[in-house]
Structure 1
Amino acid sequence: MGTAVIRDDRAAIDKAVSLLISFGDQAGTGLGVSELARRAELSKSTAFRVLGMLERNGVVEKIAGKYRLGQRLHELGRHVYVPDHDRIRDLLIPFLTDLYELTHETVHLAALHDTDVVYLSKLYGHRQVRSPSRIGGRVPAHCTAVGKVLLAYDHDALDRVLASGLRAFTPKTITDPGRLAASIAETRRTGVAFDDEESTVGLHCIAVPVMGRGGTAVAAMSVSGPIGRLDTRAREPALRRVSAAASQALSRAHRLRATA
C-alpha cells in the first residue's frame, strides 16, 4: 500500500507541474480549465482536481472562472535568487534610470547566479528590439555582455562556465572555451564587455560592472540596441560614469550598514 501511495503522489506532482508550465504567457491574466487541460494533455476532470489542490495551497488562484499563478508561487520564486539581489536592485534603480535618460536605449541591471545572469531590472528604449532579457529571467552568462563582465570578476564562476560546454544561441555565440577565456581576459583588462549578436541576431550590447568590496562585481549595467543604430562605443562613456557613481553608492551603503 505504501508503494502505491508514492506512485500516486508522483503522478500528481507530474500533473501539477504540467499544468503550471501550461500557463505560459497567460500566467498573470489566467486561463480556463479546458484550455489548461488541453495544453497539459490531461482530461478536464483531472485538470480540475489538480487545480483545486494547487488552489488550496495558494500556488494558483481562481478569478472570474479563470486560473492564474498564485502569490505563494511568486514568493517561492523570490527565494531562488540571492537575498541581496532585492537590496542591490532597489539601491541601483536610480542609476539605471540615469543611464536610460542619457541614452534613451534599452538598459539592464543584472547579477550573476551560478553560471547564468539574472536580470534585476530593465528599462525599454523608445525603439524596442527582440531580446532574451526579461526582469527575473535567467540567461547563460557566456553569451551576454552583462554575463561576460560579471564572469571577468568571478574566477570560480568562469571556471564552471568554461567546463560546462558552451551552447550556441546564434552563429556568433562564442562556443570555444579558449576564445571565451581570451575575451573575458580582455574584459578584465578594460572593464567593458560586448555582445555582438551572441545572444540574439541583430542585437548589440555593451556592459560594465558595478563594483563592491574587495574588487568584486556586485552587478552589471548595460545598454543594448539593434545593429546599425546603436553605436556601443559611443555609449561607453555614459555607461562608465553611471556605473562609477553606482559603485560609490554601494560603498556608502555598505559603510552605513557596517556602522549601524
Structure 2
Amino acid sequence: MTTSAAEALRDGVLRDDRAAVDKAISLLVAFGDQASTGIGVSELARRAQLSKSTAHRVLGMLERNGVVERAGTGYRLGARLHELGQAVYPRRHEALRDRLLPHLTDLYELTRQTVHLAMLHGPDVVFPAKLYGHHSVLAPSRIGGRLPAHCTGVGKVLLAYDAEAAAQAVAVPLRQLTGSTITTSDDLLAELARIREVGVSFDHGESWSGLSCVAAPVFGPGRRVVAALSVAGQTGRIDLDRANVEVRRVSAAASQVLAKAAA
C-alpha cells in the first residue's frame, strides 16, 4: 500500500470515528424529557435524523458501554452516563455543598424566598443546591444546572473575588440572556469592582426578566471565595433590602465556620 493510500485510509477511519461520535451524541440528546422513562428506536432515529438501522446499531454500541439501557422495547439513559455527569464537577463541590446546606436552610428560614447555593465551574456558575420559596417565581436556575456567571447575582459575586475567573470571563463574548444582561467586558469589570466595594451583587432581570436577587460570597481558608449564597424573588415583590441584610449575615457565618474548620 502506498503512503498516500495509507494516509487516505487513515483519514477515512478518522472521518468514520467522528461520524460515529456525532451520531451517538445526536441520539443521546434526542432522549429529551424521556431520558429516564424510555423511548423507542424509531422515534429516537427520527429525532436524531438517522435511519432506524443506524440508530439501532449505535444504540447497541452505547448499551454495551452502559451509556443507555433497555426499557421494555425501547431505551433510556444508563447509569454510566449518570456517573460521567457526576464526574464533571470536582468532588470538593459535593463536600462543600454538604457543609453549606445548613446555612442555605438558615437563609431560607429567614427570608422564605427562593435561595441558591452556587459555585464557579469555568465561565459558568453551577447550582449544587436550591430551596424554593413560598412565592412561585420563574427562574432559569435548577439544581445541578449551570448558567453563564456574568449574568447572575451569584456568578458576578464569585467573579468579583476571583481575578483569574474574571479574566477568563471577559476574554470571550458575553452571552446575552435578557435585555438587561451585561454584554461588554468593560461594563462587567466595572460591575465587579462595584461588587467588591459593597460586598454583595444584585441581579435585576439579567438572567431572567422579572427576576431579582441579591448574592453574597462565602470565603474559605485564606479568604478565598469558594461559593455564593443568594436570595431571589419576583421583581417588585421581593424585599431586596431585607434580603441584602440576611444574605450578608448568613454568608459571613458560613465563612466563619469554614475558617474555623480549616484552623
Partner of 2:138: 130
Aligned length: 255
Q: Which residue of 1 aligns with 2:51?
A: 43
User: Is residue 251 from structure 1 mapped to residue 259 from structure 2 by the alignment?
Assistant: yes
Alignment match, 2:196: 188
Find the partner of 2:63 among 35, 55, 64. Answer: 55
The structural deviation recorded for 1:109 is 0.5
Q: Does 1:108 align with 2:116?
A: yes
Q: Name the SS of the counterpart of 1:127 in structure 2.
A: coil
Q: Distance in 1 between matches of 2:259 and 2:33?
A: 39
Matching residue's letter, 2:38: G
Partner of 1:231: 239
Instruction: State the alpha-carbon separation in 2 of the partners of residues 73 and 254 from structure 1.
Output: 35
Report if aligned partners of 2:37, 2:71 keep a CA contact under 8 Å in 1: no
Moved more, 15-24 or 162-171: 162-171
Shift of 1:2: 4.5
Instruction: Give the C-alpha shift of residue 253 in structure 1.
Output: 2.9
Q: Which amino acid aligns with 1:15?
A: K
- Out of 154, 163, 173, the residue aligned to residue 162 of structure 2 is 154
Q: After superposition, what is the alpha-carbon deviation per residue over 1:233-260, rounded to whole angstroms, capped at 9, x for unaligned?
A: 22112212211221122223323xxxxx
Distance of 1:55 and 1:253 partners within structure 2: 44
Distance in 1 (alpha carbons) for counterparts of 2:36 and 2:109: 30
1:81 equivalent among 74, 81, 89: 89
- Find 2:221's aligned residue among 213, 224, 236: 213
* Distance change in 2, residues 1:158/1:49 (3 Å): same
Distance 1:116 1:43 in 2: 36
Flag the 1:233–1:17 CA change in 2: closer, same or farther, 3 A.
same
CA shift for structure 1 position 6: 3.2
**Structure 2 match to 1:258:** none
Cα distance in 1, alignment partners of residues 109 and 183 from structure 2: 35
**How far apart in 1 are the matches of 2:170 and 2:18?**
36
CA RMSD across the alignment: 1.5
Aligned to 1:11: 19
The answer to whether 1:178 aligns with 2:178 is no
Q: Mark the runs of 5 or more structure 2 residues left unpaired by the alignment.
A: 1-8
Alpha-carbon shift at residue 3 of structure 1 (Å): 4.3
What's the TM-score, normalizing by structure 1? 0.92
Distance 2:16 2:172 in 1: 36
Bigger mean CA offset, 173-182 vs 104-113: 173-182
Q: Aligned to 2:102, what secondary structure does the other structure show?
A: helix
Once the two structures are superposed, residues 136-182 of structure 1 have per-residue CA deviations (whole angstroms, 9 ceiling, x without a partner) of 22211110000110011101111121221222211111112222212
Offset from partner CA, 1:56-87 (integer Å, 9 cap, x none): 10111222333222111111122222231011
**Residues 99, 66 of structure 1: alpha-carbon distance in 2 compared, 3 angstrom cutoff:** farther
Q: List per-residue Cα deviations over 1:92-137 (Å, max 9, x = no partner).
A: 1111112112222111111011221111111112233221211222
Q: Where does structure 1 lack aligned partners over 5 or more consecutive residues?
A: 256-260
Distance 1:29 1:62 in 2: 10
How many Å separate the matches in 2 of 1:242 and 1:113? 23
Q: C-alpha distance in 1, partners of 2:229/2:172?
A: 25
